[in-house]
């Protein structure tokens, strides 16, 4: 299995990394992608990717932080080019639900990440909340550049998913699909092609059932895998084989 989105730089994961890695390997995780959200976050990620062969990282600024941590595409390219274990750009995107950063700052930051992704030809890890229309408008401006898009912790509508599939996007299922009130999201993931699907924890957040309410960790991705296999009506081994292959293909 691969946890395609976790935050090992956040507590309590960072201070308990040895135990986190041990439990991850015990359930069969072969890669962990730890996701950057701020400039300070990246300082820890550069340390983390050196800790173990299974840890990889990204570089980017979360839309919540767009007003505070401003980066250019050239800065992103420079940082990623220095480290072969930094394999993705993000988490970036748009969040107009909380609006911790104003729309102008979010869009500017998002477009800088997109330009870097085009130049480096590596995936964008996308955060999208209450911004489906604006997200598609921006993606469509760059649709001729063969963007590599990973919709992290996807909770969007089926219509949004279909529009993103036209852009060759991938979709990552989090522990939210195990929640009782996520019936619509489960139906959406049922409709998304298996070859476009990944799994993640977003740990230490969004722990899946049966651990909902606890601090999440990468080893809990097995519960999301089990639920997604059930939704897809395939065996767990097939689900794991396909989501692993999809990750490796996307991040090549």
The average pLDDT across 233-238 equals: 98
- Determine the distance from the C-alpha atom of residue 223 to the mean position of all C-alpha atoms in its chain, rounded to a whole number: 17
Q: What is the C-alpha separation between 209 and 138, in angstroms, rounded?
A: 35
Q: Look at residues 98, 95, 150, 156 and name the one whose alpha carbon lies nearest to residue 124.
A: 150
Beta-bridge mates of residue 2: 31
Terminal C-alpha separation, the chain: 16
The average pLDDT across 42-61 equals: 98
Under a CB-based contact definition with an 8 Å cutoff, are residues 84 and 124 in contact? Answer: no
Residue 100's pLDDT is: 87
Under a CB-based contact definition with an 8 Å cutoff, are residues 215 and 207 in contact? Answer: yes
Residue 156's pLDDT is: 94
Under a CB-based contact definition with an 8 Å cutoff, are residues 56 and 30 in contact? Answer: no
Q: Look at residues 115, 111, 46 and name the one whose alpha carbon lies nearest to residue 85.
A: 46
Residue 99's pLDDT is: 80
Residue 24's pLDDT is: 98
Q: Is the pTM of this model over 0.85?
A: yes
Beta-bridge mates of residue 123: none
> Domains, the chain, ranges and CATH?
2-251 (3.20.20.140)
Backbone angles phi, psi at 213, to 5 degrees: 100, -20
pLDDT tens digits, one per residue of 114-166: 999 999 999 999 999 999 999 999 999 999 999 999 999 999 999 999 999 99
Q: What is the C-alpha separation between 206 and 68, in angstroms, rounded?
A: 25
The average pLDDT across 199-211 equals: 98
Residue 228 has pLDDT above 90, yes or no: yes
CA atoms within 13 A on the CB side of 95: 18
Sequence-separated (6 or more) residues with CB below 8 Å from residue 124: 88, 89, 90, 92, 113, 114, 117, 147, 148, 149, 150
pLDDT tens digits, one per residue of 60-71: 999 999 999 999
Q: Enter the tokens of residue 125.
A: 């890890």
Residue 38 has pLDDT above 90, yes or no: yes
Looking at every residue in the chain, the average pLDDT score rounds to: 97
pLDDT tens digits, one per residue of 6-35: 999 999 999 999 999 999 999 999 999 999
Residue 210's pLDDT is: 97
Q: What is the C-alpha separation between 25 and 125, in angstroms, rounded?
A: 24
Residue 98's pLDDT is: 85
Residue 81's pLDDT is: 96
The average pLDDT across 171-187 equals: 97
Q: Look at residues 169, 239, 173, 163 and name the one whose alpha carbon lies nearest to residue 208.
A: 173
Q: Following DSSP, what letter does each residue of 177-190 receive, concatenated?
A: GGSTT-HHHHHHHH
pLDDT tens digits, one per residue of 70-112: 999 999 999 999 999 999 999 999 999 988 899 999 999 999 9
Angle between helices 236-251 and 221-232 (to 10 degrees): 110
Helix extents (H) in 17-157: 17-26, 39-48, 73-81, 103-120, 132-141
The DSSP letter of residue 69 is S
Residue 219 has pLDDT above 90, yes or no: yes
């Amino acid at each position: 299995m691969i946890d395609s989105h976790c935050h090992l730089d956040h507590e309590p994961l960072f201070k308990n990394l040895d135990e986190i890695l041990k439990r991850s390997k015990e359930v069969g995780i072969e890669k962990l992608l730890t996701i950057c959200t701020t400039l300070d976050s990246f300082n820890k990620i550069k340390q983390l990717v050196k800790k173990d062969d299974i840890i990889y990282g990204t570089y980017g600024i979360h839309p919540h932080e767009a007003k505070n941590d401003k980066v250019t595409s050239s800065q992103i390219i420079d940082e990623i080019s220095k480290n072969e274990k930094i394999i993705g750009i993000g988490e970036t995107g748009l969040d107009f639900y909380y609006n911790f950063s104003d729309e102008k700052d979010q869009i500017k930051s998002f477009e800088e990440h997109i330009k870097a992704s085009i130049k480096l030809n590596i995936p964008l890890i996308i955060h999208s909340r209450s911004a489906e229309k604006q997200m598609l408008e921006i993606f469509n401006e760059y649709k001729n550049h063969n963007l590599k898009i990973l919709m992290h912790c996807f909770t969007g509508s089926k219509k949004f998913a279909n529009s993103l599939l036209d852009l060759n996007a991938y979709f990552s299922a989090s522990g939210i699909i195990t929640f009782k009130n996520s019936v619509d999201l489960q139906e959406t993931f049922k409709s998304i092609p298996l070859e476009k699907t990944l799994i993640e924890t977003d740990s230490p957040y969004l722990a899946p059932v049966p651990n909902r309410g606890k601090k999440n960790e990468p080893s809990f991705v097995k519960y999301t895998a089990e639920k997604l296999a059930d939704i897809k009506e395939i065996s767990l081994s097939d689900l794991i084989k396909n989501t692993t292959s999809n990750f490796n293909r996307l991040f090549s």
